[in-house]
Structure 1
Amino acid sequence: MNSILNNLSHIYGDELIKIFVSVLCGSILGFEREIRGKSAGFRTLALICFGSTIFTICSYLLGVDANRDRVAANVITGVGFLGAGVIFRNNIAVSGITTAASIWISAAIGMLVGIGAYELAGVSMILSLFILYAMDYIQFWIDFRFQHRDYKIILDLSAEQLEITAHLQDLKLRCINIKVLRSGNQLIWQAQVSGRGDRLETFNNWLLNQRAISSFEW
Protein backbone atom coordinates (compact mmCIF):
# COMPACT_ATOMS: atom_id res chain seq x y z
CA MET A 1 0.00 0.00 0.00
CA ASN A 2 2.80 2.40 0.88
CA SER A 3 4.55 1.69 -2.40
CA ILE A 4 1.34 2.42 -4.34
CA LEU A 5 0.86 5.70 -2.51
CA ASN A 6 4.49 6.65 -3.10
CA ASN A 7 4.16 5.92 -6.81
CA LEU A 8 0.95 7.93 -7.04
CA SER A 9 2.49 10.90 -5.23
CA HIS A 10 5.58 10.69 -7.44
CA ILE A 11 3.63 10.54 -10.73
CA TYR A 12 0.55 12.60 -9.84
CA GLY A 13 1.83 14.67 -6.93
CA ASP A 14 0.43 18.02 -8.08
CA GLU A 15 -2.85 16.48 -9.21
CA LEU A 16 -3.42 14.81 -5.84
CA ILE A 17 -2.87 18.14 -4.09
CA LYS A 18 -5.38 19.77 -6.43
CA ILE A 19 -7.96 17.09 -5.66
CA PHE A 20 -7.64 17.51 -1.90
CA VAL A 21 -7.69 21.31 -2.15
CA SER A 22 -10.84 21.21 -4.28
CA VAL A 23 -12.61 18.95 -1.78
CA LEU A 24 -11.64 21.37 0.99
CA CYS A 25 -12.91 24.43 -0.92
CA GLY A 26 -16.18 22.76 -1.88
CA SER A 27 -16.72 21.56 1.69
CA ILE A 28 -16.25 25.08 3.08
CA LEU A 29 -18.77 26.54 0.62
CA GLY A 30 -21.15 23.63 1.23
CA PHE A 31 -20.96 24.09 4.99
CA GLU A 32 -22.41 27.60 4.66
CA ARG A 33 -25.31 26.25 2.57
CA GLU A 34 -25.79 23.29 4.92
CA ILE A 35 -26.23 25.38 8.07
CA ARG A 36 -28.91 27.38 6.24
CA GLY A 37 -30.77 24.20 5.36
CA LYS A 38 -30.45 24.55 1.58
CA SER A 39 -31.00 21.69 -0.86
CA ALA A 40 -27.41 21.71 -2.16
CA GLY A 41 -25.30 21.48 0.97
CA PHE A 42 -22.05 20.12 2.32
CA ARG A 43 -21.57 16.95 0.25
CA THR A 44 -23.13 18.32 -2.92
CA LEU A 45 -20.86 21.34 -3.29
CA ALA A 46 -17.81 19.30 -2.24
CA LEU A 47 -18.54 16.78 -5.01
CA ILE A 48 -19.19 19.52 -7.59
CA CYS A 49 -15.95 21.32 -6.81
CA PHE A 50 -14.07 18.00 -6.70
CA GLY A 51 -15.59 16.85 -9.99
CA SER A 52 -14.80 20.12 -11.74
CA THR A 53 -11.17 19.77 -10.70
CA ILE A 54 -11.01 16.20 -12.01
CA PHE A 55 -12.47 17.17 -15.38
CA THR A 56 -10.08 20.11 -15.63
CA ILE A 57 -7.14 17.80 -14.89
CA CYS A 58 -8.42 15.39 -17.54
CA SER A 59 -8.63 18.20 -20.07
CA TYR A 60 -4.86 18.79 -20.03
CA LEU A 61 -3.80 15.20 -19.31
CA LEU A 62 -5.50 14.18 -22.56
CA GLY A 63 -2.82 16.18 -24.31
CA VAL A 64 -4.97 17.78 -26.98
CA ASP A 65 -3.50 21.28 -27.12
CA ALA A 66 -5.91 22.67 -29.70
CA ASN A 67 -9.06 21.75 -27.74
CA ARG A 68 -8.12 22.01 -24.10
CA ASP A 69 -11.17 24.14 -23.39
CA ARG A 70 -13.64 21.55 -24.69
CA VAL A 71 -13.88 19.62 -21.40
CA ALA A 72 -14.12 22.85 -19.40
CA ALA A 73 -16.98 24.08 -21.59
CA ASN A 74 -18.90 20.86 -21.01
CA VAL A 75 -18.32 21.15 -17.25
CA ILE A 76 -20.08 24.52 -17.34
CA THR A 77 -22.98 23.00 -19.29
CA GLY A 78 -23.34 20.12 -16.84
CA VAL A 79 -23.24 22.44 -13.84
CA GLY A 80 -25.99 24.50 -15.48
CA PHE A 81 -28.28 21.45 -15.44
CA LEU A 82 -27.50 20.82 -11.77
CA GLY A 83 -28.23 24.45 -10.90
CA ALA A 84 -31.56 24.37 -12.73
CA GLY A 85 -32.62 21.40 -10.61
CA VAL A 86 -32.55 23.38 -7.36
CA ILE A 87 -34.61 26.35 -8.60
CA PHE A 88 -38.29 26.18 -7.69
CA ARG A 89 -41.23 28.47 -8.41
CA ASN A 90 -43.92 28.78 -5.75
CA ASN A 91 -46.81 30.97 -6.91
CA ILE A 92 -45.15 34.35 -7.49
CA ALA A 93 -41.98 33.56 -5.52
CA VAL A 94 -38.84 31.91 -6.89
CA SER A 95 -36.47 30.09 -4.55
CA GLY A 96 -33.14 28.33 -4.96
CA ILE A 97 -31.43 30.89 -7.21
CA THR A 98 -28.69 31.62 -4.66
CA THR A 99 -28.08 27.90 -4.16
CA ALA A 100 -27.86 27.45 -7.94
CA ALA A 101 -25.31 30.28 -8.07
CA SER A 102 -23.37 28.53 -5.27
CA ILE A 103 -23.19 25.40 -7.42
CA TRP A 104 -21.95 27.50 -10.32
CA ILE A 105 -19.23 29.28 -8.33
CA SER A 106 -18.18 26.02 -6.65
CA ALA A 107 -17.54 24.50 -10.08
CA ALA A 108 -15.61 27.62 -11.13
CA ILE A 109 -13.39 27.39 -8.04
CA GLY A 110 -12.82 23.69 -8.75
CA MET A 111 -11.67 24.56 -12.26
CA LEU A 112 -9.28 27.19 -10.90
CA VAL A 113 -7.80 24.61 -8.56
CA GLY A 114 -7.56 22.20 -11.49
CA ILE A 115 -5.31 24.57 -13.45
CA GLY A 116 -3.19 25.25 -10.36
CA ALA A 117 -4.39 28.81 -9.66
CA TYR A 118 -4.53 28.27 -5.89
CA GLU A 119 -4.25 31.93 -4.92
CA LEU A 120 -7.07 32.96 -7.26
CA ALA A 121 -9.20 30.05 -6.04
CA GLY A 122 -8.62 31.08 -2.42
CA VAL A 123 -9.57 34.70 -3.09
CA SER A 124 -12.65 33.57 -5.01
CA MET A 125 -13.73 31.31 -2.15
CA ILE A 126 -13.31 34.11 0.42
CA LEU A 127 -15.33 36.51 -1.73
CA SER A 128 -18.01 33.84 -2.22
CA LEU A 129 -18.32 33.34 1.54
CA PHE A 130 -18.51 37.10 2.03
CA ILE A 131 -21.33 37.37 -0.51
CA LEU A 132 -23.24 34.40 0.91
CA TYR A 133 -22.85 35.26 4.59
CA ALA A 134 -22.00 38.90 5.21
CA MET A 135 -24.06 40.38 2.40
CA ASP A 136 -27.11 38.48 3.62
CA TYR A 137 -27.48 41.11 6.36
CA ILE A 138 -27.18 43.90 3.80
CA GLN A 139 -29.89 42.29 1.67
CA PHE A 140 -32.13 41.96 4.74
CA TRP A 141 -31.69 45.68 5.46
CA ILE A 142 -32.49 46.59 1.84
CA ASP A 143 -35.53 44.31 1.74
CA PHE A 144 -36.81 45.79 5.00
CA ARG A 145 -36.50 49.40 3.89
CA PHE A 146 -37.62 48.93 0.28
CA GLN A 147 -40.42 46.39 0.30
CA HIS A 148 -42.93 46.19 -2.55
CA ARG A 149 -46.38 44.72 -2.07
CA ASP A 150 -49.30 44.40 -4.48
CA TYR A 151 -52.51 45.09 -2.57
CA LYS A 152 -56.05 44.16 -3.48
CA ILE A 153 -58.58 45.74 -1.12
CA ILE A 154 -62.34 45.14 -1.34
CA LEU A 155 -64.52 47.85 0.25
CA ASP A 156 -68.20 47.79 1.06
CA LEU A 157 -69.93 50.76 -0.64
CA SER A 158 -72.68 50.81 1.97
CA ALA A 159 -70.18 51.54 4.75
CA GLU A 160 -68.21 54.68 5.46
CA GLN A 161 -65.77 55.51 2.65
CA LEU A 162 -62.08 55.42 3.38
CA GLU A 163 -59.25 57.61 2.08
CA ILE A 164 -56.71 54.85 1.56
CA THR A 165 -54.32 56.96 -0.49
CA ALA A 166 -54.31 59.72 2.11
CA HIS A 167 -53.52 57.24 4.86
CA LEU A 168 -50.63 55.87 2.80
CA GLN A 169 -49.23 59.38 2.47
CA ASP A 170 -49.45 59.83 6.25
CA LEU A 171 -47.40 56.66 6.68
CA LYS A 172 -44.88 57.90 4.06
CA LEU A 173 -45.61 54.93 1.82
CA ARG A 174 -45.41 55.18 -1.95
CA CYS A 175 -48.39 54.05 -4.02
CA ILE A 176 -48.34 53.48 -7.81
CA ASN A 177 -50.43 51.73 -10.48
CA ILE A 178 -53.72 52.43 -8.74
CA LYS A 179 -56.78 50.70 -10.18
CA VAL A 180 -60.32 51.15 -8.88
CA LEU A 181 -63.06 48.75 -10.00
CA ARG A 182 -66.69 48.38 -8.98
CA SER A 183 -68.56 45.09 -8.68
CA GLY A 184 -72.12 45.37 -7.35
CA ASN A 185 -71.98 46.87 -3.88
CA GLN A 186 -68.23 46.45 -3.64
CA LEU A 187 -65.33 48.66 -4.64
CA ILE A 188 -62.06 46.93 -5.55
CA TRP A 189 -58.89 48.97 -4.96
CA GLN A 190 -55.62 47.63 -6.40
CA ALA A 191 -52.16 49.19 -6.25
CA GLN A 192 -48.49 48.55 -5.61
CA VAL A 193 -47.36 49.94 -2.27
CA SER A 194 -43.70 50.30 -1.36
CA GLY A 195 -41.80 51.48 1.71
CA ARG A 196 -40.39 50.33 5.04
CA GLY A 197 -41.50 46.96 6.34
CA ASP A 198 -42.69 48.27 9.72
CA ARG A 199 -44.82 50.96 8.05
CA LEU A 200 -46.37 48.38 5.76
CA GLU A 201 -47.26 46.30 8.80
CA THR A 202 -48.84 49.40 10.38
CA PHE A 203 -50.87 49.82 7.20
CA ASN A 204 -51.98 46.18 7.41
CA ASN A 205 -53.12 46.65 11.01
CA TRP A 206 -55.07 49.76 9.98
CA LEU A 207 -56.80 47.76 7.24
CA LEU A 208 -57.74 45.02 9.69
CA ASN A 209 -59.48 47.53 11.95
CA GLN A 210 -61.61 49.17 9.24
CA ARG A 211 -65.22 47.92 9.10
CA ALA A 212 -65.65 49.28 5.57
CA ILE A 213 -63.08 46.77 4.27
CA SER A 214 -64.59 43.39 3.43
CA SER A 215 -61.24 41.76 2.67
CA PHE A 216 -57.73 42.51 1.49
CA GLU A 217 -54.71 40.59 0.30
CA TRP A 218 -51.15 41.29 -0.77
Structure 2
Amino acid sequence: METDILHLLIALAIGALIGTEREYRSKSAGLRTMIMVSLASCLFTILSIKIGVANPDRLAANILTGLGFLGAGVIFKDDNRISGITTATTIWMVAALGMAVGAGYILLSLFGTFMVLVVLVLLVYVQDKIENVHQSRSYRIVCEYQQETLDRYEELFKSFQMHVIRGVQNKTEKQITGRWILIGSAQNHKRLTTYLLADTEIRELSF
Protein backbone atom coordinates (compact mmCIF):
# COMPACT_ATOMS: atom_id res chain seq x y z
CA MET A 1 0.00 0.00 0.00
CA GLU A 2 2.80 2.43 0.90
CA THR A 3 4.50 1.70 -2.42
CA ASP A 4 1.28 2.44 -4.31
CA ILE A 5 0.88 5.77 -2.49
CA LEU A 6 4.49 6.65 -3.35
CA HIS A 7 3.79 5.85 -7.00
CA LEU A 8 0.74 8.13 -6.97
CA LEU A 9 2.79 10.95 -5.45
CA ILE A 10 5.47 10.53 -8.11
CA ALA A 11 2.78 10.55 -10.81
CA LEU A 12 1.36 13.74 -9.29
CA ALA A 13 4.81 15.37 -9.35
CA ILE A 14 5.35 14.39 -12.99
CA GLY A 15 1.97 15.77 -14.02
CA ALA A 16 2.65 18.95 -12.05
CA LEU A 17 6.05 19.53 -13.69
CA ILE A 18 4.75 19.14 -17.23
CA GLY A 19 1.46 20.86 -16.43
CA THR A 20 3.28 23.89 -15.06
CA GLU A 21 5.04 24.36 -18.39
CA ARG A 22 1.73 24.06 -20.28
CA GLU A 23 0.03 26.44 -17.83
CA TYR A 24 2.86 28.98 -18.19
CA ARG A 25 2.30 29.01 -21.95
CA SER A 26 -1.49 29.39 -21.42
CA LYS A 27 -2.36 26.13 -23.16
CA SER A 28 -5.85 24.65 -23.00
CA ALA A 29 -4.64 21.62 -21.02
CA GLY A 30 -2.67 23.01 -18.11
CA LEU A 31 -1.60 22.13 -14.60
CA ARG A 32 -4.71 20.38 -13.26
CA THR A 33 -5.39 18.49 -16.49
CA MET A 34 -1.87 17.06 -16.68
CA ILE A 35 -1.94 16.06 -13.00
CA MET A 36 -5.28 14.27 -13.45
CA VAL A 37 -4.09 12.45 -16.59
CA SER A 38 -0.91 11.29 -14.86
CA LEU A 39 -2.71 10.23 -11.68
CA ALA A 40 -5.50 8.43 -13.54
CA SER A 41 -3.09 6.52 -15.77
CA CYS A 42 -0.99 5.54 -12.75
CA LEU A 43 -4.00 4.42 -10.71
CA PHE A 44 -5.52 2.42 -13.59
CA THR A 45 -2.19 0.63 -14.04
CA ILE A 46 -1.87 -0.13 -10.32
CA LEU A 47 -5.42 -1.49 -10.21
CA SER A 48 -4.91 -3.65 -13.28
CA ILE A 49 -1.87 -5.26 -11.66
CA LYS A 50 -3.67 -5.80 -8.34
CA ILE A 51 -6.87 -7.11 -9.90
CA GLY A 52 -4.81 -9.48 -12.00
CA VAL A 53 -6.06 -8.72 -15.51
CA ALA A 54 -5.09 -11.58 -17.83
CA ASN A 55 -3.84 -9.21 -20.53
CA PRO A 56 -2.63 -5.93 -18.98
CA ASP A 57 -1.88 -4.54 -22.44
CA ARG A 58 -5.63 -4.38 -23.06
CA LEU A 59 -5.96 -1.88 -20.20
CA ALA A 60 -3.17 0.24 -21.68
CA ALA A 61 -4.96 0.21 -25.03
CA ASN A 62 -8.19 1.35 -23.40
CA ILE A 63 -6.40 4.18 -21.60
CA LEU A 64 -4.94 5.39 -24.90
CA THR A 65 -8.34 5.14 -26.60
CA GLY A 66 -9.92 7.31 -23.91
CA LEU A 67 -7.11 9.83 -24.20
CA GLY A 68 -7.78 10.08 -27.91
CA PHE A 69 -11.09 11.83 -27.17
CA LEU A 70 -9.42 14.07 -24.59
CA GLY A 71 -6.63 15.00 -26.99
CA ALA A 72 -9.08 15.79 -29.78
CA GLY A 73 -10.77 18.31 -27.52
CA VAL A 74 -7.67 20.52 -27.32
CA ILE A 75 -7.02 20.69 -31.07
CA PHE A 76 -8.42 23.79 -32.80
CA LYS A 77 -8.37 25.02 -36.38
CA ASP A 78 -8.42 28.71 -37.18
CA ASP A 79 -8.13 30.51 -40.52
CA ASN A 80 -4.39 30.03 -40.95
CA ARG A 81 -3.25 27.07 -38.89
CA ILE A 82 -4.07 24.15 -36.63
CA SER A 83 -3.16 24.59 -32.97
CA GLY A 84 -3.17 22.32 -29.95
CA ILE A 85 -1.44 19.30 -31.49
CA THR A 86 1.58 19.63 -29.20
CA THR A 87 -0.70 19.82 -26.15
CA ALA A 88 -2.65 16.77 -27.34
CA THR A 89 0.52 14.71 -27.79
CA THR A 90 1.77 15.94 -24.42
CA ILE A 91 -1.39 14.50 -22.82
CA TRP A 92 -0.57 11.14 -24.40
CA MET A 93 3.00 11.31 -23.12
CA VAL A 94 1.91 12.23 -19.58
CA ALA A 95 -0.43 9.23 -19.61
CA ALA A 96 2.45 6.99 -20.69
CA LEU A 97 4.61 8.37 -17.87
CA GLY A 98 1.81 7.80 -15.36
CA MET A 99 1.44 4.20 -16.56
CA ALA A 100 5.20 3.69 -16.24
CA VAL A 101 5.09 4.91 -12.63
CA GLY A 102 2.11 2.68 -11.86
CA ALA A 103 3.95 -0.33 -13.26
CA GLY A 104 6.96 0.43 -11.05
CA TYR A 105 9.35 1.83 -13.68
CA ILE A 106 10.26 4.91 -11.68
CA LEU A 107 13.66 5.66 -13.24
CA LEU A 108 12.24 5.24 -16.74
CA SER A 109 9.35 7.62 -16.00
CA LEU A 110 11.67 10.26 -14.48
CA PHE A 111 13.99 10.13 -17.48
CA GLY A 112 10.97 10.34 -19.77
CA THR A 113 9.77 13.43 -17.86
CA PHE A 114 13.18 15.03 -18.34
CA MET A 115 13.02 14.37 -22.09
CA VAL A 116 9.51 15.86 -22.34
CA LEU A 117 10.61 19.04 -20.56
CA VAL A 118 13.62 19.34 -22.85
CA VAL A 119 11.34 19.11 -25.89
CA LEU A 120 8.73 21.53 -24.52
CA VAL A 121 11.11 24.13 -23.06
CA LEU A 122 14.43 24.09 -24.91
CA LEU A 123 13.28 23.19 -28.42
CA VAL A 124 10.90 26.16 -28.44
CA TYR A 125 13.91 28.41 -29.04
CA VAL A 126 15.08 26.20 -31.90
CA GLN A 127 11.58 26.33 -33.41
CA ASP A 128 11.52 30.12 -33.13
CA LYS A 129 14.84 30.41 -34.94
CA ILE A 130 13.59 28.14 -37.73
CA GLU A 131 10.41 30.21 -38.11
CA ASN A 132 12.48 33.40 -38.33
CA VAL A 133 14.12 32.15 -41.51
CA HIS A 134 11.37 29.87 -42.86
CA GLN A 135 7.87 31.01 -41.93
CA SER A 136 4.64 29.96 -43.63
CA ARG A 137 1.73 32.39 -43.61
CA SER A 138 -1.63 32.61 -45.41
CA TYR A 139 -2.58 35.82 -47.23
CA ARG A 140 -5.95 36.90 -48.56
CA ILE A 141 -6.34 39.96 -50.81
CA VAL A 142 -9.57 41.46 -52.15
CA CYS A 143 -9.30 44.18 -54.79
CA GLU A 144 -11.07 45.57 -57.85
CA TYR A 145 -10.89 43.17 -60.75
CA GLN A 146 -8.46 43.98 -63.52
CA GLN A 147 -6.80 41.71 -66.03
CA GLU A 148 -3.75 39.95 -64.52
CA THR A 149 -4.36 41.51 -61.09
CA LEU A 150 -3.40 38.37 -59.17
CA ASP A 151 -0.39 37.68 -61.38
CA ARG A 152 0.90 41.14 -60.52
CA TYR A 153 0.68 40.39 -56.81
CA GLU A 154 2.41 37.05 -57.26
CA GLU A 155 5.32 38.81 -58.94
CA LEU A 156 5.33 41.26 -56.04
CA PHE A 157 5.53 38.37 -53.55
CA LYS A 158 8.48 36.90 -55.40
CA SER A 159 10.26 40.26 -55.33
CA PHE A 160 10.13 39.97 -51.53
CA GLN A 161 11.86 36.57 -51.81
CA MET A 162 8.76 34.55 -51.03
CA HIS A 163 7.95 31.05 -52.19
CA VAL A 164 4.39 31.33 -53.52
CA ILE A 165 1.67 28.66 -53.35
CA ARG A 166 -1.55 29.82 -55.01
CA GLY A 167 -4.78 28.92 -53.24
CA VAL A 168 -8.47 29.22 -54.18
CA GLN A 169 -9.42 32.40 -56.04
CA ASN A 170 -12.88 33.90 -56.42
CA LYS A 171 -14.14 36.53 -58.86
CA THR A 172 -17.35 38.52 -58.75
CA GLU A 173 -18.54 41.12 -61.24
CA LYS A 174 -16.41 43.93 -59.82
CA GLN A 175 -13.80 42.41 -57.52
CA ILE A 176 -11.50 39.44 -57.21
CA THR A 177 -10.25 37.57 -54.15
CA GLY A 178 -6.89 35.85 -54.08
CA ARG A 179 -5.47 33.49 -51.50
CA TRP A 180 -1.88 32.39 -51.18
CA ILE A 181 0.44 30.59 -48.81
CA LEU A 182 3.76 32.44 -48.71
CA ILE A 183 6.93 30.96 -47.29
CA GLY A 184 9.84 33.19 -46.36
CA SER A 185 11.72 34.82 -43.51
CA ALA A 186 9.90 36.71 -40.75
CA GLN A 187 11.64 39.91 -41.82
CA ASN A 188 10.43 39.56 -45.42
CA HIS A 189 6.89 38.88 -44.21
CA LYS A 190 7.04 42.08 -42.17
CA ARG A 191 8.30 44.10 -45.14
CA LEU A 192 5.63 42.63 -47.41
CA THR A 193 2.72 43.28 -45.04
CA THR A 194 3.90 46.87 -44.56
CA TYR A 195 3.86 47.34 -48.33
CA LEU A 196 0.45 45.70 -48.75
CA LEU A 197 -1.12 47.77 -45.97
CA ALA A 198 -0.08 50.89 -47.85
CA ASP A 199 -1.51 49.64 -51.16
CA THR A 200 -4.61 51.74 -51.88
CA GLU A 201 -5.91 49.26 -54.48
CA ILE A 202 -6.45 46.57 -51.85
CA ARG A 203 -9.93 46.64 -50.35
CA GLU A 204 -9.44 43.82 -47.84
CA LEU A 205 -6.27 42.21 -46.54
CA SER A 206 -5.82 39.33 -44.09
CA PHE A 207 -2.61 37.58 -43.16
Q: Percent identity among equivalent residues? A: 33
1:69-218 equivalences under 5 Å are 69-156=57-144, 163-177=152-166, 183-184=172-173, 186=175, 188-218=177-207
Aligned partners of 1:199 and 1:112: how far apart in 2?
Answer: 47
Q: 1:42 — aligned with what?
A: 31
With structure 2 as the length reference, what TM-score do the two structures score? 0.84
Residue 156 of structure 1 deviates from its aligned partner by 4.3
Whichever residue aligns with residue 41 of structure 2, its letter is: S
Letter in 2 for 1:116: G
Distance 1:182 1:91 in 2: 20
Shift of 1:87: 2.2
CA distance change for structure 1 residues 205 and 122 in 2, over 3 Å: closer, same or farther?
same
Task: Give 1:188 deviation, angstroms.
Answer: 4.9
Residues of 1 paired with 2:40 and 2:14: CA distance?
A: 12
Do the aligned partners of residues 63 and 165 (structure 1) sit closer, same or farther apart at CA in structure 2, a change above 3 Å counting? closer
What is the number of equivalent residue pairs in this alignment?
204
Does structure 1 conserve the Cα–Cα contact (< 8 Å) formed by 2:38 and 2:98? yes
Q: Which amino acid aligns with 1:201?
A: K
Distance 2:80 2:140 in 1: 15
**Equivalent-residue separation in structure 1 for 2:14 and 2:72 (angstroms):** 22
Across the aligned residues of Structure 1 and Structure 2, the Cα RMSD in angstroms comes to 2.6
> Is the contact made by 2:136 and 2:184 (CA closer than 8 Å) also made in structure 1?
yes
CA offset digits 1:166-207 (Å, max 9, x no partner): 433332222233788765555655433210122112112112
Q: Deviations over 1:127-186 (max 9, x none)?
A: 11111111112222222322223333344468xx89434433332222233788765555
The amino acid of 2:93's aligned partner reads I
Question: Which of residues 34, 40, 62 in structure 2 aligns to 1:51?
Answer: 40
Query: Does the CA contact (< 8 Å) of 1:112 and 1:118 recur in 2?
Result: yes
Q: Which runs of 5+ in 2 are unaligned?
A: none
- In the alignment, is the contact (CA less than 8 A) between 2:80 and 2:138 conserved in 1? no
Equivalent of 1:29, from 14, 18, 29? 18
- Note if contact 1:59-1:72 (Cα within 8 Å) is conserved in structure 2: no
Larger radius of gyration: 1
Letter aligned with residue 136 of structure 1: V
- Supply the AA of the counterpart residue of 2:95: A
CA separation of 1:197/1:16 partners in 2, compared to 1, >3 Å: closer, same or farther? same
- Structure 1 length normalisation: TM-score? 0.80
| Cα deviation 1:58-99 (Å, max 9, x = unaligned) | 1111124x3222222221122222222222333453332222
